Amino acid sequence: MSQKAKCSHCQLEYDKAQLKKVIEDSSELYFCCNGCEAVYMLLKQSGLGGFYDRLGGNTLSPVEKSSAKQANSIISTTSRFSYLDDDGFLEKHTTKIKNAPKQKSNQAHNRQVNNQRDSPLLEANLIIEGIHCAACVWLNEAALQKQQGIISANINYTNNKAKIVFDPRAIKLSAIFSLISSIGYEAHIYDPSTQENLLTKESKSYFTSFVVGVFCTMSIMMVAIAQYAGYFKGMSADMKSVLNLISCLLATPVLFFTGRVFFVGAYYGVKQGYVGMDFLVAFGASLTFAYSVYASFAGVGEPYFESVAMIVLFVFSGKFLEIRARALAGDSLDKLQHILPSAVLVESNGENGEILLLPKDSKELAKDDIVHIREGEMLPCDGVVLTQGSIDTRSLSGESEPVQKVRGDEVLSGSIACESFCYAVQKTYADSTMSNIIKLLEESLESKPKIQNLANALSKHFSRVVLFIALCGFLFWWEYADAQKALIIAISVIVISCPCALALATPIASVVGISRGFREGVLFKQARFLETLAKCEVVLFDKTGTLTQGKLSVKKVFDFDTREDFSKNLLVDFLSHFTHPIALALKDFLELKNLRKNEISKNLKEAKQTSQRGIYGIYEDKQGKVRLLGGSLEYLQSQGVDTNEASKIAQNYPQMSIFAYAIEIVKITNEVEAIETHQKDKSSNEAKSNEHINEAKSTKTLPQFHSLYLLQDSLKNGAKELVASLKKAGKEVLLISGDRQCVVESIAKELGIESYKGALLPKDKLEIIRSHKNAVMIGDGLNDILALQSAEVGIAMGAGSAMAIAQGDVVVLDDSLEGVGRAFSIATRTYSRIKQNLVISLVYNALLIPLALCGFVIPLVAALSMSLSSLLVVANSMRK
């Protein structure tokens, strides 16, 4: 029989004669190929030999010969990866950053980097294939961080995603790939589809283990039925031994194949000084298995092979369902990562000067590229419309109706074209709105709320306490009963305890809350803002653009002249030459009255805005002249207009904005007379009109006061309901604004807000926010930057604008107050679920551990209870 030996690197077993023998420091080493030998020697020389201690009983794939060659020249750029150093490739797949974390080793290089900040560092996101345990993560991080030019390397074990910050002047991206390849792994540029393929492979592995566990456990239960029947009808000792042997053979793959994940987790946990759920399951199941083997062959007591299988299967099923639940909870991110198109049609000049439409990778789009979007396609980058079209913006703003866009309008990535049009790219793929939203959502799913620190602290010591209780129970029952009962009770205590439910209490609820928020148009940048928002005591609102529309509208009109249609027709045209908010609001109001320009509107000679809060214009032709005056009452009074009656009216509405309008008519023409005679009530007004006209024919008249318009900003839909709900929840509501005090007071009283302050500068708002603890500031993200940043939580309303996303801790994508209400509701519900989960876990353990200690729970029931507690926490987090 040939002797077997393991390769010193990959740990795979071969016939000893097939292996290459190497003597190293008087030790015999064996290698299956030159690649494994080269990598082994490289790691030893680099001081990374500790990898093999961390590897434990795991195996690796044999290193390919190509990797062996690369091992001798890791830093050099190989032909295999040379395409990675192309400038276009780097621009597309890396991000320029500054102030990166310093590399602990290699301090001299860090000083060099700090002295040359003009050349930014690069950040690359990779997927590393072949990572299957914590030792693999340690090896890759250690190998990368030892290299000159790599500033930091962090690998997420849950998704194999590596974030590497490096200095392109000191090391090339191809060299990083070569290094990873040389130690037996394969790196890929991060792509959602690549990650999905790896997750699919992992899911299949779990499913295979689950199927094996189910098959063997069901077979054991069938054997157990025969054994139970034998207890009542009698069974020979030989038959009993055969059935025990079959149960042992069936329980073995369940314990060591299906349950291997618990042994691996327990091993690395103990090496790091941590005793968790994996250790409790592996230890409890192993004790039960060992006792059952002893009982079967020694003929002492009864074996519990079915309990071994059920313990492992129940807990593994819970773990499998937890993974599926987390994947389901993060489904919003997965969908977003696939939602943007991979390629679009872009204009390109042909050889003969003709314009061609050629496909181009969305990530390679550059500023001013002209993109042709077809109906139903999603815009990959932000840009400016060149030809008219309509878009669906529900993924950004929640707007259900298509929005019409004309030339010059801005469009954001993530919008869907309702008809074909073309636009010019203004921001690259990586800098566009939807890409930033995806990045922020991904970071928020990886962040942790403050309450998780409490849960982690409890779970860290929980398992050790459980082991101590189990030991005490074992010693007690051994003294007062027998060893068999003592062992069963100790196993039941170990298995029934559930640190996993405690550990799951916070992260599952947080992931569900963040994902649900995004589906409802609310983006939480970090998980901790869920907790902070739920616990806030004071909510401060900005007025303009937050509680109000940010757009003036006409509330009251007072007319003082009978020539209404003639004068207002002129006013419609006159106002169209000004962009002041009052002018725009008044123009919209008059146009809704179906007022139109008349013939004299074509003869505008002058239109100016004065420094006295007023505007004036002159319409003139060969037959006459009309002068228009508009603005504040003070301005009209300075122009000789009698404003006494209008001033008395205005005093009753101090909270409103004023637009007063006067008209001066000189040398009225037949044209004007003709217009006057076509008024609707010419039978009753004709005589009065002619009197005014005849007066104007002979001499210049003083400007006649025509109309007084009172304008005010309107409340947004849902403003009253939101304020009422916050006050009902026990939160103090304040209104702070830079607008006039009387205007702020009017809005506050309309909303039922008792605390309000107006005429505030940005620094005044900052002082008010700092004077309150646990304060939440809600603004439009445009003029409240200091306030949003200084509050515990800043909620920005900006319809998905880049400014809102940049400044807010929580962003209401649809710009609605209903969205703000949803943010508070989701945060409160999520924080409540986290507390409920913690209570469920603690109460479960407080009730069932004593029952198990008293001998009222067998290991089978304990395993079922443990799994159910975890699933209960997951189900509570997932419920609506």
Round to whole Å and give the CA distance between 451 and 831.
9
> pLDDT digit string (tens) for 816-859?
899 999 999 999 999 999 889 888 888 888 888 898 888 888 76
The larger pLDDT score, comparing residue 427 to residue 492, is at 427
Residue located via tokens 């409490």 = 454
Q: What is the pLDDT of residue 459?
A: 59
* Sequence ranges of the domains in the chain: 4-71, 82-190, 201-331+449-507+850-878, 346-428, 509-548+717-833, 550-715
At 309 the three-state DSSP class reads helix
Amino acid at 280: L
The answer to whether 125 touches 430, Cβ cutoff 8 Å, is no
Residue 673 has pLDDT above 60, yes or no: no
Q: Which residues contact 564 (CB under 8 A, 6 or more apart)?
A: none
Q: What is the pLDDT of residue 695?
A: 42
> pLDDT digit string (tens) for 195-212?
677 667 667 778 888 899
The larger pLDDT score, comparing residue 68 to residue 595, is at 595
Round to whole Å and give the CA distance between 280 and 863.
11
Q: What is the pLDDT of residue 104?
A: 40
Residue located via tokens 């456990």 = 217
Q: What is the pLDDT of residue 749?
A: 92
The answer to whether 776 touches 789, Cβ cutoff 8 Å, is no
Round to whole Å and give the CA distance between 17 and 741.
93
102: confidence class by pLDDT, cuts 50, 70, 90: very low
Q: What is the pLDDT of residue 598?
A: 55
384: confidence class by pLDDT, cuts 50, 70, 90: very high
| C-alpha to C-alpha distances, 406 to 226, 400, 409, nearest whole angstrom | 79, 19, 6
Q: What is the pLDDT of residue 354?
A: 79
Residue 774 has pLDDT above 80, yes or no: yes
Q: What is the mean pLDDT of the chain?
A: 77
Range scoring the smallest mean pLDDT among 64-73, 437-446, 448-457: 64-73
Q: What is the pLDDT of residue 669?
A: 45
Question: What are φ and ψ of residue 130, in 5° steps?
Answer: 105, -10
> pLDDT digit string (tens) for 1-47?
567 888 888 888 888 877 888 877 777 888 888 778 877 877 777 66
> pLDDT digit string (tens) for 476-504?
999 888 887 888 888 788 777 766 666 66
Least Cα distance to 837 among 515, 451, 533, 520 occurs for: 451
Q: Which residues contact 245 (CB under 8 A, 6 or more apart)?
A: 296
Q: What is the pLDDT of residue 710?
A: 92
Q: What is the pLDDT of residue 109?
A: 44
Q: What is the pLDDT of residue 265?
A: 67
Average pLDDT of span 739-746: 86
Q: What is the pLDDT of residue 694?
A: 43
| C-alpha to C-alpha distances, 763 to 163, 544, 735, 737, 756, nearest whole angstrom | 39, 17, 15, 12, 16
Round to whole Å and give the CA distance between 655 and 224.
85
Residue 420 has pLDDT above 80, yes or no: yes
The larger pLDDT score, comparing residue 870 to residue 877, is at 877
Round to whole Å and give the CA distance between 87 and 364.
12
Residue 399 has pLDDT above 60, yes or no: no
Residue 366 has pLDDT above 60, yes or no: yes
At 559 the three-state DSSP class reads strand
Residue 424 has pLDDT above 60, yes or no: yes
Q: What is the pLDDT of residue 540?
A: 95
Round to whole Å and give the CA distance between 248 and 298.
14
Average pLDDT of span 530-552: 87
Range scoring the smallest mean pLDDT among 405-414, 466-475, 673-682, 861-870: 673-682
The answer to whether 451 touches 834, Cβ cutoff 8 Å, is yes
Residue located via tokens 């369902």 = 321
The answer to whether 18 touches 9, Cβ cutoff 8 Å, is no
Q: What is the pLDDT of residue 773?
A: 85
The answer to whether 623 touches 669, Cβ cutoff 8 Å, is yes
The CATH topology of domain 82-190 is Alpha-Beta Plaits (3.30.70)
Classify strands 793-797 and 775-779 as parallel, antiparallel or unpaired: parallel
Residue 753 has pLDDT above 90, yes or no: yes
Q: What is the pLDDT of residue 456?
A: 54
Residue 303 has pLDDT above 60, yes or no: yes
Encoded tokens for 247: 């149960």
Q: Which residues contact 875 (CB under 8 A, 6 or more apart)?
A: none
Q: What is the pLDDT of residue 443?
A: 62
Write the class of the CATH domain 346-428.
mainly beta
The CATH topology of domain 550-715 is Calcium-transporting ATPase, cytoplasmic domain N (3.40.1110)
509-548+717-833 maps to CATH 3.40.50.1000: yes
Residue 757 has pLDDT above 80, yes or no: yes
Round to whole Å and give the CA distance between 86 and 361.
16
Average pLDDT of span 696-724: 80
Most confident region among 13-22, 550-559, 595-604 by mean pLDDT: 550-559
* Helix (H) or strand (E) segment spanning residue 375: none
Residue 68 has pLDDT above 50, yes or no: no
Beta-carbon-side half-sphere exposure of residue 629 (alpha carbons within 13 Å): 24
The larger pLDDT score, comparing residue 716 to residue 197, is at 716
Q: What is the pLDDT of residue 349?
A: 83
Q: What is the pLDDT of residue 676?
A: 42
Average pLDDT of span 768-772: 88
Q: What is the pLDDT of residue 248?
A: 92
Least Cα distance to 276 among 340, 319, 245 occurs for: 319
Which pTM value belongs to this model? 0.57
Round to whole Å and give the CA distance between 421 and 389.
5
Q: What is the pLDDT of residue 60?
A: 74
Classify strands 150-156 and 161-166 as parallel, antiparallel or unpaired: antiparallel
Round to whole Å and give the CA distance between 825 and 513.
10
Round to whole Å and give the CA distance between 386 and 377.
17
The answer to whether 821 touches 722, Cβ cutoff 8 Å, is yes
